[in-house]
Amino acid sequence: EDQVTQSPEALRLQEGESSSLNCSYTVSGLRGLFWYRQDPGKGPEFLFTLYSAGEEKEKERLKATLTKKESFLHITAPKPEDSATYLCAVQAKGSSNTGKLIFGQGTTLQVKP
């Protein structure tokens, strides 16, 4: 069964304190892995798509990496405005529903000034 597990469930950082969020996945052939940011009461906002092991993508203070079993979202020198829930999702090959995403439970990040 395809599955996505994120850790930690919650993370508190001081402003400027770098850290990483983990997304472990089990899927019968990875089509794509997606990172989203979700603020309270809002829909998820797209951050990155990764397709193959070894791939990396960056956006401002965020960097996403991918291996055959997991993905990391590295946050460098975070600011309070980076506080949000970060969601990881995978899309499996051969899915009967094209585009179907399987989400992890998310990591809620709080950055204190």
Partner 1 sequence: GAVVSQHPSRVICKSGTSVKIECRSLDFQATTMFWYRQFPKQSLMLMATSNEGSKATYEQGVEKDKFLINHASLTLSTLTVTSAHPEDSSFYICSAPRPPGGTDTQYFGPGTRLTVL
Query: Which residue ranges make up the site for partner 1 (CB under 8 A)?
Result: 31-32, 34, 36, 41-46, 49, 51, 87, 91, 96-106
Q: Quote the strand ranges of 17-61, DSSP E.
A: 19-26, 30-38, 45-50, 56-59
Classify 81 in phi/psi space as left (phi over 0), alpha (psi -120 to 50) or beta. alpha
Minimal distance, residue 16 CB to partner 1, in Å: 27
Q: Which is nearer to partner 1, 64 or 101 (CB)?
A: 101
Beta carbons within 10 angstroms of residue 35's beta carbon = 24
**Residue 81, phi then psi, degrees to nearest 5:** -70, -5
Please state the closest distance from residue 17 (CB atom) to partner 1, in A: 24
C-beta closer to partner 1: residue 76 or 95? 95
Q: How far is the CB of 6 from partner 1 (least distance, A)?
A: 9
Q: Which is nearer to partner 1, 26 or 32 (CB)?
A: 32
CB of 20 to partner 1, least distance (A): 19
Q: How far is CA 110 from CA 13, 75, 82, 85, 103, in A?
A: 6, 12, 8, 9, 21
By beta-carbon proximity to partner 1, the closer residue of 14 and 46 is 46
